[in-house]
Chains A and B, each alone.
Chain A
């Protein structure tokens, strides 16, 4: 059908194109400036930093941590997905929900929980433990979705051809899960490489922590910039790889269209073991952090607490996160509409530019903005607008993805009808596209708000002197070992983050 030619020939109207280009340039600015800054003292100097023994050691440590966390996440994510989707596990739905909850726990809150229970965990083991327990849902969610999408008839055919359940799983099911699992694994890897909170609290030196230390320790900031460039190269490679697997996973899914759900596998004598496994994961990933938090809250309250300070910090966090989410959403709107409605190279480039933040660890964006402000916009240095800009660069991908999905929900034919009824392009945007996409865009804004609120490394570097967010305060107190003082901030963060997450969940159903 000729439908494929729908929007191919139409160029985006200027009302969209101009602001979208502004947003894209804005998103690319830190990346560009980082490169400029790293090479400022000549490529030779930058190379010295990069090829330094210390850098190679950092590389080894970062990669080692990534490999271990990814492997652990794959084991946890795939086993839980299979148990909750395909077996007659008692309470499968509840386990499934429990397995997604750790997503709401920032890595530094997990690190706080484990450190406060056992300070000796600091180091590689502690960092790997904390990161695994907060990021395995990135594997669990796509794998569970893929498992639900596989036509059970394929497995039935394999069984009828003489394969036992295990052989069927290995030869038929597992290969189809590979794209989903690979995509999830890459997300976990990206999370680990970009993470600052958990590794810094666990005092395990990776790139992010080294960049922070180097920035704080010396006036010469070129080494920090050079290290940032190496880190960014690593994350960009990961993002590109993730995008490729996502493309292929999409192909693998088309045409499966399940007619009926698969018959659940009966676990038999394995049932207690399966329950024990799910229970153990839920205990360490959900119950333990909450329990520790509760313990320290109780300990702290007997010691008396500074409620005024907590309220002030919560309010400051709320305000900067709201401003960050607002700016991000406004910048994302034109890009998201173009990405949903227009094909062609220009539109794709715009969208990809806006996704730059996805590959940039928070610390590198913060560093780039610090350099930029010091050189060209000194009055902004350590002022709120710079922090809000950092949020926008970092979380533009979140808002663009939400806007794009929301606009896709509004059928293009509605816009055609509006045009035929006498509306100009910008009127169509105002009267049809935006009202229809509004709920999805609002959901994206809520999500952006949550991630802004939890952001740690960029906030640490860019916040105005004397200002604290819940995240920075939690980080400082935990770093100083005052767990009882840190606990209320962790609790407030989880509560504030839970509200929009809950709303999002309702929005989707």
Chain B
């Protein structure tokens, strides 16, 4: 079993600034977890501690039951069986692709080494590239070789440090999917560090949002998006419409967009913040119950959908509405807005 268990990690720098304040993270065996957070939140520091490049002040790191960091224990990186895929790949520029991939295969005999190397190159779709030098590869190919290199010694855990950052967006989705399927194929536990919420949601099985050196919420991508623990997370993982609301009868709340149904009982609260996603709002011409009138202030067209902002009475900032299909409104026109589905509610 290759479960990663991080407990109570703290770390401060010489200037006394606390970068990790008791970080907790559990990644079940075989899971690809994303650690998501804004820059400076401590996610890279966590990764470097887990890899063994930095020592934590306090806290423990266990991998498959083996203690790697703890009081008086610091296993050096070369004995952790943790592979890393750094930003921009960091291939050894003086070694060929094949020798890069085989770098970690020290114990095995020649035959075995060759087989593993070929297997890994095939896994990342680069069969036949073994004799190339790193500078002869594109950015995406380099990133795949870096993954093959990390996976070759069959590590218990693979750490990916914003590995898709350097790729242009057209390439990113493809490489991301390949990396995910390669990880699946080897069954390795993996931790992906990123500041890109789309990347975290689309790639990982589990997403841990890190804020100020702690995990603020750890959940599956769907749960995280639909039931964020607080408004900040809601806004960080996606576009959010946040409205003040007062609790009414039968799990409802009254807002500037009318009465909305809450996903969960408000738990004795009288007033709070109601959370809706822009795709839960619909533009409508009807004038029925539950439709609120407003004025279109702006239309941003993205192709696959568009964001229409509408000013409504009782709320001072315009509200974003995601509209799929043809856009029939123009700025300045009046329109109706209807809420669909259930809303989140936060104190």
Contacts and interface: CB of A to CB of B under 8 A. Distances in A.
> Bound pair: A and B?
yes
Interface of A: 1-5, 8-9, 411, 413-414, 416-424, 432, 435-436
A346 to B, nearest CB: 15
A419 B76 contact: yes
B40 A419 contact: no
Nearest to A8: B14
B263 interface: no
Interface string B40-52: 1010110010011
B77 A419 contact: yes
21 contacts: A1-B39, A2-B19, A2-B42, A2-B44, A2-B48, A5-B54, A8-B13, A416-B77, A417-B84, A417-B149, A418-B92, A419-B53, A420-B51, A420-B82, A421-B83, A422-B79, A422-B104, A423-B78, A432-B92, A436-B92, A436-B94
B30 interface: no
A436 B93 contact: yes
Contacts of B106: 422
Contacts of B42: 2
A424 B80 CA distance: 12
Contact of A419 (B13, B44, B52): B52
Closest 5 CB pairs of A and B: A421-B104, A419-B77, A413-B90, A2-B45, A420-B84
A414 to B, nearest CB: 5
Nearest to B159: A420
A190 to B, nearest CB: 35
Given A2-B45, A5-B45, A424-B78, 10 more contacts: A8-B14, A411-B90, A413-B86, A413-B90, A417-B149, A420-B104, A421-B78, A422-B104, A435-B94, A436-B94
B90 A417 contact: yes
Interface in B45-94: 45, 48, 51-55, 76-80, 82-84, 86-87, 90, 92-94
A424 to B, nearest CB: 6
A421 B116 CA distance: 15
A419 B81 CA distance: 10
B129 interface: no
B236 interface: no
A234 to B, nearest CB: 37
B278 interface: no
A418 to B, nearest CB: 7
Contacts of B86: 413, 416-417
A416 B51 contact: yes
Interface of B is mostly: loop
Interface of A is mostly: helix
Interface in B100-125: 103-104, 106
B153 interface: yes
Nearest to A344: B14
Nearest to A409: B93
A417 B45 CA distance: 16
Contact of B54 (A9, A413, A421): A9
Nearest to B83: A420
Contacts of B80: 420
Most chain B CB atoms below 10 A, which of A2, A416, A418: A2
A5 B90 CA distance: 19
Given A414-B90, A423-B78, A1 B40 contact: yes
B92 A421 contact: no
B275 to A, nearest CB: 31
A432 B92 CA distance: 7
Contacts of B45: 2, 5
A435 B40 CA distance: 34
Contacts of B104: 420-422
B90 A422 contact: no
A489 B14 CA distance: 57
Given A411-B90, A416-B53, A421 B40 contact: no
B153 A421 contact: yes
Nearest to A422: B78
Nearest to A3: B44
Contacts of B51: 416, 420
A417 B79 CA distance: 13
A389 to B, nearest CB: 33
B4 to A, nearest CB: 15
A2 B54 CA distance: 11
Contact of A9 (B40, B55, B77): B55
Nearest to A438: B94
A161 B80 CA distance: 63
A423 B39 CA distance: 30
A3 to B, nearest CB: 8
A416 B47 CA distance: 12
Most chain A CB atoms below 10 A, which of B39, B53, B76: B53
Contacts of A435: 94
A285 to B, nearest CB: 40
B100 to A, nearest CB: 9
